[in-house]
């Protein structure tokens, strides 16, 4: 029952996102966004229109952030894999050492 509730909530969020996309799809202008006020028509001072160099800088920033996030994820994955491997090998050696102690005590 809990899974169905989570599924319904996720579907409602997706449907809401689809509704917003469909409502803003045709001819999106700054005036069609609720609460937005156009203060300047010049791209250099507008928050809705960017100049080519601003777009390039933004794409470089996004690429830099994504590259670093992937690197961080890969580094953490390797670190946790190595640590898990060491824990498993230590548990195995501790179990075999425990068996040897029991056999010594019985004798």
Q: What is the pLDDT of residues 59-79, one digit of tens each?
A: 999 999 999 999 999 999 999
Is residue 25 a contact partner of residue 31, using CB atoms and an 8 Å limit? no
To the nearest whole percent, how much of the chain has pLDDT over 90?
Answer: 36
pLDDT greater at residue 7 or residue 23? 7
Q: Mean pLDDT across the stretch 77-89?
A: 89
Count how many domains the chain has.
1
Q: What is the mean pLDDT of the chain?
A: 81
Query: Which range marks the domain in which residue 11 is found?
Result: 2-25+51-106
pLDDT over 60 at 105, yes or no: no
Closest CA to 49 of 37, 41, 60: 41
Is residue 48 a contact partner of residue 30, using CB atoms and an 8 Å limit? yes
Query: HSE on the CB side for 83, CA within 13 Å?
Result: 6
6: tokens are 């989570």
Other Cβ atoms within 10 Å of 18 Cβ, number: 10
């Amino acid at each position: 029952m809990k899974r169905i509730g989570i599924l319904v909530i996720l579907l409602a969020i997706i449907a809401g996102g689809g509704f917003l996309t469909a409502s803003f799809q045709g001819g999106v202008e700054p005036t069609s966004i609720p609460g937005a006020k156009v203060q300047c028509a010049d791209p250099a001072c507008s928050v809705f229109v960017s100049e080519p160099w601003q777009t390039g800088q933004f794409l470089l920033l996004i690429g830099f952030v994504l590259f670093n996030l992937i690197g961080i994820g890969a580094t953490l994955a390797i670190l946790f894999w190595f640590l898990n491997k060491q824990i498993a090998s230590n548990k195995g050696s501790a179990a075999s050492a425990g068996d040897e102690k029991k056999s010594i005590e019985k004798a």
